[in-house]
Amino acid sequence: MIVAEQNIFYKAIGSEVEIFNQCNGLKLPLLLKGPTGTGKSRFIEFMADQLGKKLITISCHEETSSTDLIGRFIIKGAETVWIDGPLTMAVKNGYILYLDEVAEARPDVIVAIHSLTDHRRELFIDKLGETIKAHEDFLLVASFNPGYQKGFKELKPSTRQRFVALSFDYPQAKVETEILVQETGVDKDIAQKLVAIGNKIRNLTELGLTETVSTRLLVDAAKLIGNGLSKRLAVHVAVIEPLTDEQETLQALKDLSDLMI
Ligand code: ADP
C-alpha cells in the first residue's frame, strides 16, 4: 500500500510537540486553549500526520449532542440498525478525536466524555446498554476559546481539570512572518508588513473587538496579495472587514493599515 505524503506545515511555537507526544504516550486527554486562528487545528493535523494516526475532527456547536458523537439507531427497511458515531469509532479504532470548540456543545457531550477522560478510559453507550474500553491508541483532544469578552461559553472547572491544557496565542513577529512566507510563498518584506499591521491592531485594546487579528487572517491577506490583489485592498478585505461592522472603526483601521503597507 502506498501512503500519500501529506507534508502538513506546522511551525512549533513552544513545547507543544513534546507535550502532545507525552500526552499521547501516557494517554492523557489534552485541551488546547486560545483564540481562533492561532494554529490549534493545524497543530492537531500535523501531529496526527507525524504519528500516522487517523484524526476525526468535530466542530462543536450549540446543537451538538452526545447522540451525534456516540451513535444512533436508524431505520433501514424493516429493521433498525445501530450506526456508530465519530466518538465511538475513534474509541474503538484508536483514532485521535478532536472536539473543536468543546464548550459550545450541549452539556450531555461533556457528560459522555467524562469516563473517557479518567483512568477508566471507557465509553458508556446508553442506547445499547454497553460499555466499551478505549483502544490503547485512542486520544481525546479538545479546544476551547477562553474569550474574555461576551458571547463565549465557559468550560466548567470540573471539566477543565480532566485535561492537560496548553495555551495557544499569536506567535512572535519573527515566527509569524515565517509562517506567512512558508504557508503562502509571499515575499518576506510583505509578510513583515502584514505581521506589523496585525500586531498594531492587536495592541489597540481600546477598540473592544470581540476577537482580534488572527494568524489565519494574515495568511488570507498574504494569499490574496500573492494572487495579485493590491496589498491595501487585501488587508482591507482579509484583515479589517472580518473584525467589525462598526463604520468608524473600519475607517480608522483602514487608514492605519494604508500607512503601513
Ligand atoms: P485554530 O484551530 O486555532 O482556529 P487554525 O489551525 O485553523 O486555527 O489556523 C489557521 C491558519 O493559520 C492555518 O490554516 C495556517 O495557515 C495558519 N497557522 C496558524 N498558526 C500556524 C503555525 N504555527 N504553523 C503553521 N500555520 C499556522
> What Cα–Cα distance (Å) separates residue 237 from each residue in 14, 147, 241, 243?
31, 24, 5, 10
Given ligand 1 and candidates 38, 46, 169, 214, which is best to mutate, with the most ligand atoms within 8 Å of its CB?
38
- Distance, CA of 16 to CA of 236 (rounded, Å): 33
**127-163 pLDDT per residue, tens:** 999 999 999 999 999 999 887 555 567 888 888 899 9
- Distance, CA of 111 to CA of 101 (rounded, Å): 16
pLDDT for 10 beyond 50: yes
Residue 223 is classified by DSSP as H
Given ligand 1 and candidates 36, 42, 141, 224, which is best to mutate, with the most ligand atoms within 8 Å of its CB?
42
pLDDT of residue 6: 60
Q: Is the CB of 42 under 6 A from ligand 1?
A: yes
Q: Is the CB of 223 under 6 A from ligand 1?
A: no
pLDDT of residue 150: 52
pLDDT of residue 151: 57
pLDDT of residue 238: 98
For residue 32, how far is its CA from the centre of ligand 1 (angstroms)? 13
DSSP per-residue letters across 153-196: ----HHHHTTSEEEE--PPPHHHHHHHHHHHH---HHHHHHHHH
HEC profile for 110-136? HHHHHCCCCCCCEEEECCCCEEEECCC
Mean pLDDT on 192-207: 95
Q: Is the CB of 35 under 6 A from ligand 1?
A: no
**49-97 pLDDT per residue, tens:** 999 999 999 999 999 999 999 999 999 999 999 999 999 999 999 999 9
For residue 214, how far is its CA from the centre of ligand 1 (angstroms)? 9
pLDDT of residue 1: 43
pLDDT of residue 205: 87
For residue 219, how far is its CA from the centre of ligand 1 (angstroms)? 9
For residue 37, how far is its CA from the centre of ligand 1 (angstroms)? 5
